[in-house]
Structure 1
Amino acid sequence: MSGQTIDVPLERGIPAHLLPPSWKTSVTAWLAEDTPSFDYGGFVVGDAPREATLWGKSAGIIAGRPFFDEVFTQCGCTVEWYAEEGAQLDLSSHGKKQKVATVRGPVRGILLGERVALNTLARCSGIASQSKLLVDKLREAGYEGILAGTRKTTPGFRLVEKYGMLVGGADAHRMDLSTMVMLKDNHVWSRGSITDAVRAAKAVAGFSVKIEVEVQSEDEADEAIAAGADVVMLDNFTGDGVKVAAKSLRQKWQGKKSFLLEVSGGLREDNVGAYVCHDIDIISTSAIHQGVGYVDFSLKIEH
């Protein structure tokens, strides 16, 4: 490997500190979508104080506590947790379900927030669980580099999905088009060449923004490296093709250029092992967040 990637475990509690001040307005929008006018069910139950238990009902990692908390804060409720962010649900020790938290507040508020909070927690936990599963698989195969998610996220829900990746031990990759310049095939074709595209990007991105170039061959990788790309993505290579190209590029440019090598394109749990290579710094995939399963939770009012 290039020596530029370091696997640093994410300390518990840190993910929530990453969230920007604006994220709470998303929660407000979720609640507004779910109750755009009258709360008929709320009229039925009233605002008597009650307690509800959050149960974890399937295997996985708990992720998304800040979003769950904020939903109920905006509904006038409080949440007491019995499991940390990133903790594994242990159904074997607790029967078929595990008590994860207690929500207290006016019954109307509990029911207002119930579905929004559960949906967010279930989705975020599912992504964290799949991320950890793939990270563990890669570590078992001897890979020491970074597993990263992609930008193939749900519009309006990216922050939650990227947060789940981090809790699961994966890298969030770039958050948006402004975070890093990624020159894909369409950019190169539109500009005319990799060299021209990188030169144009450097002219406006300055020293603080990394430039990544997607390539389809070793020759294109050489052009990207020569042009000054910080990251070169080997896209849609075969496992053997990645190993050959990565080794060749490392040897060819050793002591001349500093760059990271990324591999991407159709990588999943059942085929990623073939791409494990010490010359690759980053393995990126949408398989840890796109179309993954949910962790099952339920919220039951005590009676």
Structure 2
Amino acid sequence: MIMDNFLPAGAAGSDFSLLLPRHYREDVVRFLQQDMPSFDVGAFVVGSTPVKAHLLAKTPGILAGMPFFNAVFEELGCEVQWFVTEGCRLDLSSAAEADARGSVPPEDTGDFDATPSHFRGRKKIAEVTGPVCRVLQGERTALNIISRCSGIATQTNHLAAIKQQHGWHGEIAATRKVTPGFRLFEKYAVIVGGGVPHRMTLSDMTMLKDNHCWACGGDIQAMVRKARSACGFSNKIEVECQSLAEALEAAGAGAEVVMLDNFPAPEAKAAAAKLKEHFPHGLTVEISGGLNEETASEYFSEHVDVLSFGGLTHGYDVLDFSLKVVG
């Protein structure tokens, strides 16, 4: 598996949080309310003594979700200090070396009251300070968000690295196969990982799929013309196609993007080449359906512009983190 950290040109060192709309904080508040709709007896038990808690990375991968983690604890009146940056690779090799020496890694030392076993095989990446009751109230919500975002970013980054290794210059894209209520978080994580989010909503680009075509009696040209009459020049039209003939018809009708859906790799590349031969300027060719990390490189071609992966946002592994109160 390729583990080199790859980010799109210009993204390294970027402040990804600037992408986010202000309402993501409302989502965070809603998550906290769902987790604490009434009394919190645990908070009553532990009290409000000021404490520090260390965020520990337990699995390697790409870190994503720092703005959301911050928002959870800011809402609860806590402060977060980070020792890493958004989009960095979490390398636990130093933690493993420290385990072999029987000591805490140098970056994990500091003013805290904890045994080295707290950090065995883990890397401290942030510190949360605040009343113990508030730290514990935010713990699970913050960890749930950052573990999922980091899992998506890691999987996206694997694909971005494969793309770079093969010298393919197209885009790795997500789809709208997202978790309801968590779309913004998942699409953000794709960007941090080195991919592109594709359209965020039905309003971002007009995508006419097989069911649209069926509902219009199979007349692709009429379907595209009607869409153009409403969206005008400012909104692209994409048509999902099941054959080369459909793709040629869609492009001929004025669709700016054609999606080759569930094509085997040889047929997809041949169809993409034929499309670019007939429409050399302004046509984007996307391939989707059944793609994964193992098969992606089979579809790389100079005639293919986008590969979209539903699994980026609905079939990902999470990264494991823990939050340890240390006094």
Q: TM-score range by the shorter chain?
A: over 0.9
The match for 2:323 is 299
| RMSD of aligned residue pairs (Cα, Å) | 1.1
Gap regions ≥5 residues in structure 2: 1-7, 97-120
3-state DSSP of counterpart to 1:94: helix
Count the aligned residue pairs.
Answer: 295
1:262 to 286, 294, 303: 286
C-alpha displacement of 1:175: 0.4
Alignment check: 8 A CA contact 2:92 2:122 kept: yes
CA contact (8 A) 1:221 1:232 kept: yes
Does 2:245 correspond to 1:219?
Answer: yes
1:152 aligns with one of 174, 177, 180: 177
Match of 1:121 in 2: 146
Partner of 2:116: none
Look up the equivalent residue of 1:26 and give its one-letter code. D
Once the two structures are superposed, the pairs formed by residues 30-69 of structure 1 within 5 Å of their partners are: 30-69=31-70
Q: Secondary structure at the match of 2:95?
A: coil
Identity %: 47
State whether residues 53 and 127 of structure 2, in contact with CA within 8 Å, keep that contact through their aligned partners in structure 1.
yes
Does the 8 Å CA contact 2:152/2:186 hold for their aligned counterparts?
yes
Aligned to 2:107: none
Matched position secondary structure for 1:196: helix
> Structure 2 CA distance, aligned partners of 1:283 and 1:79?
37
Of 258, 263, 267, the residue aligned with 1:232 is 258
The two structures have a TM-score, normalised by structure 2, of 0.88
Aligned positions of 1:65-84 closer than 5 A: 65-84=66-85
Contact preservation (8 Å) 1:79, 1:102: yes
Distance 2:222 2:13 in 1: 44
1:251 Cα shift?
Answer: 1.3
Instruction: Indicate the SS of the match to 2:293.
Output: coil
Give the C-alpha shift of residue 11 in structure 1. 4.0
Q: Structure 1 residue 15: deviation in Å?
A: 1.9
Cα deviation, residue 8, structure 1 = 3.4
Is the Cα contact below 8 Å between 2:179 and 2:313 reproduced in 1? no
Counterpart of 2:235, as a letter, is: V
- Check conservation: 2:57, 2:320, Cα contact below 8 A: yes
Q: Which residue in 1 is equivalent to 2:15? A: 14
Report the more deviating stretch, 279-288 or 76-85.
Answer: 279-288
Alignment gaps of 5+ in structure 1 = 1-6
1:298 partner letter: S
User: Cα deviations across residues 184-236 of structure 1 (Å, max 9, x unaligned)?
Assistant: 00011112211111111111112111110000111111111111101010111
Does the CA contact (< 8 Å) of 1:134 and 1:288 recur in 2? no
Partner of 1:190: 215
Could you say which residue in structure 1 is the equivalent of 2:164? 139
What secondary structure does 1:223 align onto?
A: helix
User: Which residue of structure 2 aligns with residue 271 of structure 1?
Assistant: 295
Return the letter of the residue paired with 1:228.
Answer: G
Deviation, structure 1 residue 66: 0.3
Q: For residue 315 of structure 2, what is the amino acid of its counterpart?
A: G
TM-score (structure 1 length as normaliser): 0.95
Structure 2: which amino acid aligns with 1:92? S
Greater CA drift, 241-250 or 113-122: 241-250
